[in-house]
Amino acid sequence: MNNTDLKVSIIMPVYRASRTIEQAVASVVAQSYKNWELIIINDCCPDDSCILIENQLTSNSQMIRIDNVTNQGVVLSRNTGIAQSKGHVIAFLDSDDYWHSDKLKRQMAKIEEGYNLVCSNYLRIKENSAPVEVTHKKEFNFFDMLKSNHIGNLTGIYRCDRIGKIYQKEVGHEDYLMWLEIVKLAGIGYCVQEPLAYYRVSNKSLSSNKFRAASWQWYIYRKELDFSPMTSLWFFSSYVYGALKKR
């Protein structure tokens, strides 16, 4: 199967995104790789987020809108999108982030080479600050991921037709835990050494609380992975070092 025959399902939960959703959706539409579907999960938006893209939703058959009956949160909304996806490959893009126009093209070239998991470097965008590139090693495995998260959620794609659909758990660092499971199944992940995505950072975002993020990481080692205190401490030290380097 040629890589252009592989459909990419892009999962986008939406809640209070009126300032950013148009750019996020536009960055998908502008992709040079054209075989995709965009699954937008309207998580009971209290603002006009989905109204802003209504024309595109009604005129573009590649876009699918799912309306949650009640507010479900980002994890369950993503899981709804994953369950409804029809693609060979799954990707994630939150409604406050956006992609380079060649992101999928560059990554799908690596999928064609045989990788089941591909990500890329990306730029952290913060108001009144210069963009900062977040970089990772070209190839990485499960052990590498235990020491540091090598996948920005907005950059990762994986072949669900080969390793299955992997869902997120309602825990802190839910995306990291999901990618841990995926890389374990994939064996090796590949990181395109260019910034192909743009991650908006807000002081109000959950992940911006460093102490909370650290507690989530410790929980994953001890509870989700069932590591001993000493093993958890070893990996946690590596995690802290890696997190400081990213800043």
Q: 45 phi and psi, to 5 degrees? A: -55, 125
Q: What is the pLDDT of residues 206-216, one digit of tens each?
A: 455 778 889 99
Residue 90 shares a structural domain with residue 72:
yes
Type and span of the H or E element at 245: helix 229-246
pLDDT-above-70 percentage for the chain: 94
Residue 149 shares a structural domain with residue 102:
yes
Residue 55: what pLDDT? 84
Residue 109 shares a structural domain with residue 198:
yes
Q: What is the pLDDT of residues 1-13, one digit of tens each?
A: 555 689 999 999 9
Domain that holds residue 48: 3-208
Name the CA radius of gyration of the chain, rounded.
17
Q: What is the pLDDT of residues 166-189, one digit of tens each?
A: 999 999 999 999 999 999 999 999
- Do the Cβ atoms of 72 and 43 come closer than 8 Å? yes
Residue 13 shares a structural domain with residue 132:
yes
Closest CA to 134 of 180, 81, 197, 206: 197
Residue 116 shares a structural domain with residue 23:
yes
By DSSP bridging, strand 189-200 and strand 98-99 are: antiparallel
CATH number at residue 54: 3.90.550.10
Residue 118 shares a structural domain with residue 185:
yes
- Do the Cβ atoms of 94 and 12 come closer than 8 Å? yes
Residue 165 shares a structural domain with residue 214:
no
Residue 202: what pLDDT? 76
The position carrying tokens 């001890």 is: 222
Dihedral, CA atoms, 109, 85, 39, 28, nearest 10 degrees?
A: 10
Q: What is the mean pLDDT of residues 138-142?
A: 98
Residue 36 shares a structural domain with residue 58:
yes
Q: What is the pLDDT of residues 29-87, one digit of tens each?
A: 999 999 999 999 999 988 888 888 888 888 899 999 999 999 999 999 999 999 999 99
Strand partners, 125: 200
Residue 242: what pLDDT? 74
Query: Structural domain tally of the chain?
Result: 2
Residue 247: what pLDDT? 59
- Do the Cβ atoms of 44 and 15 come closer than 8 Å? yes
Mean predicted lDDT score pLDDT of the chain: 92
pTM for the complete prediction? 0.93
Residue 192 shares a structural domain with residue 225:
no
Integer Cα distance of 164 and 162 in angstroms:
6
Residue 86 shares a structural domain with residue 157:
yes
Residue 38 shares a structural domain with residue 131:
yes
Q: What is the mean pLDDT of residues 88-104?
A: 97
Q: What is the mean pLDDT of residues 124-134?
A: 90
Residue 179 shares a structural domain with residue 233:
no
Reduced to 3 states, what is the DSSP secondary structure of residue 160? Answer: helix
Integer Cα distance of 59 and 41 in angstroms:
17
